């Protein structure tokens, strides 16, 4: 849709050409972010930009803009495209260089791309709940980096889709880690649990907002890993992500969770999450 940011410039999408020797294209050598836009306003913009810089630092890609300059550019992009409700996708690769595995020397300019896409909130599914499929986590050991390398994630999602499920819930052996593009929470006896933010998961911004909401509302939560058995016998399960917000999981591997409907704590968190959006994006009217 309309304009994109390409290496700092706001240009028409059809005028952008990516080089066949871009390292993002050849190696997945880069990082990305997805930011929600509600009624033209970016939600948790600073947190996403901060995480982009952190991912960059972890793999030695230097982002060639100051954080506030980048934020301004993203806001400009949203205005230029008249985006109401949707997302910004942005990625930055190590740049263009003759193909060889080692980082280019001397360093090259990274390739930066950002574009917008209209996307509604998945309201019906958030109300009814979705299905999950347990899948072995075959990914690498630096899942804390939001890297363009997503083969493990997309293979997991594909498995879920082939079983008619919305998300793959991954586990390393007995330990549940996260979804293919979401974090996983369970509720047992009124206490929430989610995997701690270590190298085995991506520390979702939505996850962080939920933890903050829990603290402010005295909802007991533990950043503690849990097992496949724990999730199968949980009272409630939900996943969290920028695009799906708080999505109840009402069936896991075909077995009903709780009474087969979104649980009370999940619904309460959904309501508090909407309030959080409204606090930050002042002109937003959501149900
Ligand atoms: C992006 C992502 C998430 C969710 O992060 P949000 O910032 O909440 O969108 C969780 N897991 C993985 C693997 C991801 O790539």
Measured torsion, CA atoms of residues 251, 255, 260, 264, in degrees rounded to the nearest 10: -70
pLDDT value at residue 282: 77
Alpha helices, DSSP H, located in 59-181 = 67-80, 123-128, 151-162
pTM for the complete prediction? 0.97
pLDDT digits (tens, 9 = 90+) for 97-137: 999 999 999 999 999 999 999 999 999 999 999 999 999 99
Q: How many CB atoms lie within 10 A of CB 96?
A: 19
Q: For the chain, what is the radius of gyration of the CA atoms?
A: 19
- Same-domain pairing of 92 and 167: no
Does residue 79 sit in the same domain as residue 181? Answer: no
Do both 134 and 81 map to the same domain?
A: no
- Could you report the per-residue pLDDT of 45-90, keeping only the tens digit for each? 999 999 999 999 999 999 999 999 999 999 999 999 999 999 999 9
Alpha helices in 168-239 (DSSP H): 205-216, 228-232
Given 74, 91, 118, the domain boundary residue is: 118
Round the average pLDDT of the chain to a whole number and report it: 97
Summarize the confidence of residues 153-169 as an average pLDDT.
98
Pocket test for ligand 1, best of 204, 246, 247 (most atoms within 8 A of CB): 204
Percent of the chain with pLDDT over 90: 97
User: Residue 257 has what DSSP assignment?
Assistant: P
Q: Which ligand 1 atom lies nearest to the CA of residue 47?
A: 7
How many domains in the chain? Answer: 2
State the distance from the centre of ligand 1 to the C-alpha of 233, rounded, in angstroms: 25
pLDDT(6) > 90: yes
What was the pLDDT predicted at 287? 61
Q: What is the pLDDT of residues 171-206, one digit of tens each?
A: 999 999 999 999 999 999 999 999 999 999 999 999
CATH number at residue 84: 3.30.470.10
Residue bearing the CA closest to ligand 1, atom 6: 204
> Is 233 in the same domain as 156?
yes
Q: Token match 């190696």: residue?
A: 27
- Residues 146 and 106 placed together within one structural domain of the fold: no
Per-residue model confidence (pLDDT) at position 286: 73
Domain that holds residue 265: 123-280
Pocket test residue of 170, 181, 198, 201 for ligand 1, highest count of atoms within 8 A of CB:
181
State how far the Cα of 108 lies from the Cα of 287, in Å rounded to an integer: 47
pLDDT at 24 over 80: yes
Q: Assess if residue 286 is contained within a domain.
A: no
Please state, in angstroms and as integers, the Cα–Cα distance from residue 265 to each residue in 17, 20, 75, 196, 222, following that order.
Answer: 47, 49, 34, 20, 15
Q: How many CB atoms sit inside 10 A of residue 260's CB? A: 10
What are the tokens at 6?
């390409």
Q: Would you place residue 1 in the very low, low, confident or very high pLDDT band (cuts 50, 70, 90)?
A: low
Q: Are residues 133 and 258 in the same domain?
A: yes
101 lies in the same domain as 148: no
């Amino acid at each position: 849709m309309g304009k994109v940011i390409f290496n700092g410039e706001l240009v028409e999408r059809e005028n952008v050409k990516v080089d066949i020797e871009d390292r993002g294209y050849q190696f997945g050598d880069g990082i990305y972010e997805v930011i929600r836009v509600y009624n033209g306003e970016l939600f948790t913009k600073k947190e996403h930009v901060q995480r982009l810089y952190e991912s960059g630092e972890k793999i030695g890609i230097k982002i060639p803009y100051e954080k506030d300059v980048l934020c301004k550019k993203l806001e400009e992009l949203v205005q230029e495209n008249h985006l109401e409700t949707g997302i910004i996708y942005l990625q930055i690769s190590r740049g263009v260089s003759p193909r060889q595995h080692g980082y280019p020397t001397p360093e090259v300019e990274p390739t930066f791309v950002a574009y917008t896409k209209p996307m509604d909130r998945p309201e019906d599914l958030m109300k009814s709940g979705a299905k999950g499929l347990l899948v072995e986590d075959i990914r690498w050991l630096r899942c804390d980096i939001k890297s363009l390398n997503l083969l493990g994630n997309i293979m997991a999602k594909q498995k879920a889709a082939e079983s008619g499920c919305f998300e793959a819930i991954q586990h390393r052996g007995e330990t549940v880690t996260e979804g293919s593009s979401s974090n996983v929470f369970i509720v047992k006896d009124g206490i929430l649990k989610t995997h701690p933010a270590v190298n085995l998961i991506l520390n979702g911004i939505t996850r962080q907002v939920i933890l903050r909401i829990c603290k402010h509302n005295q909802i007991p939560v533990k950043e503690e890993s849990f097992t496949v058995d724990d999730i199968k016998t949980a009272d409630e399960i939900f996943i969290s992500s920028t695009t799906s917000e708080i999505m109840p999981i009402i069936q896991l591997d075909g077995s009903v969770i709780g009474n087969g409907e979104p649980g009370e704590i999940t619904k309460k968190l959904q309501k508090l999450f909407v309030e959080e959006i409204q606090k930050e994006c002042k002109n937003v009217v959501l149900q």
